[in-house]
A and B are shown apart, each in its own frame.
Chain A
Amino acid sequence: MAIREHFEEEVQEVKELIQELANMGDEALTRAVESLYKKNIQIAESVIEQDDTIDQKELEIHEKTILLIAKQQPFAKDLRRLIISLKISSDLERMADNAVNIAKSTIHLGEDHPLKIHPLIGSMADKARDMGALAIKAVKYEDISLAGKLAELDDEIDEMYGTVIREMLDETISNPQMNQYMMQMAFSARYIERYADHITNIGENIFYLVKGENYDLNE
């Protein structure tokens, strides 16, 4: 029997829970953006309803991790692995909150608003989902080269966000009656940008895990 086999199994279970939480957040973002484009209140409401389950999953990870720290008293990389599990699960939960906020924007806009949702919002969401998948792979394999790529993708999202906001500002000048709709769309773009920032935090945690030092991927 390998030494600390039981401990390693439990750490693996935490990792699997993180994977599940990440999948739930990814699903939430996908459906929230879908609701925005389709002006579909029902889909938006389902995203909001699902958020409770996501919060529960985060709590489950926290409880399991805290118990492991208390019972196993880990050191060094083992300790860092559990500490980042707490931080990553919090980031994933906050990412899902951003998806919920997009769903709320869908509800605010209603089913028959005249606004055409900016195509870059969909592209931002796609890129954010790619980032999310990459981050979770980096978590799984504890791979800093994958984590390092997140900074680059985040910069691309920031650029798209800048473009969306600029174009919408121009639009509000020529079409002031659209302001309230524009605001909701700008918020949605902002929520995706925030979603991606949380993913770079996950990347930073991988660096911390592997190197034992703090890194900033969000400059």
Chain B
Amino acid sequence: MSTIAKPIVKKQSEEKTIEKDSVFGVSNLNLWYGTDQALYDIHMDIYKNEITAIIGPSGCGKSTFLKTLNRMVEMVPIVKTSGTIKYNDENIFDPKYSVEDLRTRVGMVFQKPNPFPKSIYDNVAYGPRIHGIKNKKDLDTIVEKSLKDAALWDEVKDRLHENAYGLSGGQQQRLCIARCLAIEPDVILMDEPTSALDPISTMKVEELVQNLREKYSIVIVTHNMQQAARISDKTAFFLNGELVEFTETDQLFSNPADKRTEDYITGRFG
């Protein structure tokens, strides 16, 4: 007779877990805006072909962290950083490291759709043209492929030369994703990409993001916890500039290890 209950141990699956390659290795990352510290000693690996979601209350440093991954945060002149971020084993803070190369490989999609005041075609062709592709056939191929990958082709293929501002908000956001895909990035950073979209457009972008995982590594900042739970493989919870918990999404939303994570995801914060 025993009264000490033990958890039921799940049978291990026969398959070996595949060691995933990390695309970003963040260690000891600290960041200051002037004298205000915004990130504290972040350690985090971001893996290839995974969707990593970053959640946390406003001001927790999640967008700052995202923008650090392609050094866009340095557009704010008072920013100082310490620590290392290795992108494919090279430290992106190394003075010899080319920020332009980094931003070509690590694309970004913002909260509000920000198409250029140009045609749909020119929006997508913009990046490839800058990178020296002039041949019309090549550009046509890239534009079609990018729009198809962004699940927008069928909706715009008959009006490619119309102004992008004529598209709906959801279409504009997918156009921005297509524009990002056109330069064949390796990683896509998304900063609340659906917060300005209606529910149907949100669902379309979510579906798209999940399909993009096959070819790209995606890091997405979101205020929508259900969205993080639905689409991501791993989730990081930031609070007051610290990375509180970073684990499998299923684990984080069903049985988080840290009390602060539990309080945040169950809406008991503050």
Contact = CB atoms under 8 A, between A and B. Distances in A.
A45 to B, nearest CB: 39
B225 A75 contact: yes
A215 B6 contact: yes
B127 interface: no
B255 A212 contact: yes
B265 interface: yes
Contacts of A3: 267-270
Nearest to B8: A214
A140 B179 CA distance: 55
| Chain A interface helix/strand/loop/mixed | helix
Contacts of B256: 76
B5 A148 contact: yes
A216 interface: yes
A78 B263 CA distance: 10
- Bin the interface of chain B by size: 20 to 34
B78 interface: no
A207 B268 contact: no
B255 A207 contact: no
A131 to B, nearest CB: 13
A215 B266 contact: no
Contacts of B3: 148-149, 151-152
A215 B8 contact: yes
Given A151-B2, A155-B1, A76 B262 contact: yes
B8 A76 contact: no
A77 B1 contact: no
Interface in A60-105: 73-80
B229 interface: yes
Contacts of A213: 7-8, 255
A217 interface: yes
A4 B268 contact: yes
Nearest to B225: A75
Interface string A167-210: 00000000000000000000000000000000000000001000
Given A3-B270, A76-B256, A79-B254, A207 B5 contact: yes
A219 B7 CA distance: 12
B266 A74 contact: yes
A108 interface: no
Contacts of B5: 144, 147-148, 151, 207, 215-217
Nearest to A208: B7
Counting chain A CB atoms within 10 Å of each CB, the highest count among B2, B3, B225 belongs to B3
B7 A75 contact: no
A144 B5 CA distance: 9
B253 interface: yes
Contact of A75 (B8, B253, B269): B253
B13 interface: no
Nearest to B255: A212
A144 to B, nearest CB: 8
B98 interface: no
Contact of B266 (A76, A152, A217): A76
A148 to B, nearest CB: 5
A215 B7 CA distance: 4
A216 B8 contact: yes
A4 B5 CA distance: 33
Interface string B1-36: 111111110000000000000000000000000000
B253 A76 contact: yes
A211 interface: yes
Contacts of B270: 3
A76 B265 CA distance: 8
Interface in A98-152: 144, 147-149, 151-152
10 contacts: A3-B268, A4-B266, A4-B268, A75-B225, A75-B229, A75-B253, A76-B262, A151-B3, A212-B254, A213-B7
Interface of A: 3-4, 7, 73-80, 144, 147-149, 151-152, 155, 207, 211-217, 219
In the A-B complex, the 9 residue pairs with the smallest Cβ-Cβ separation, listed nearest first, are A212-B255, A213-B7, A75-B265, A214-B8, A215-B5, A78-B266, A152-B3, A4-B267, A75-B253
Interface of B: 1-8, 225-226, 229, 253-256, 262, 265-270
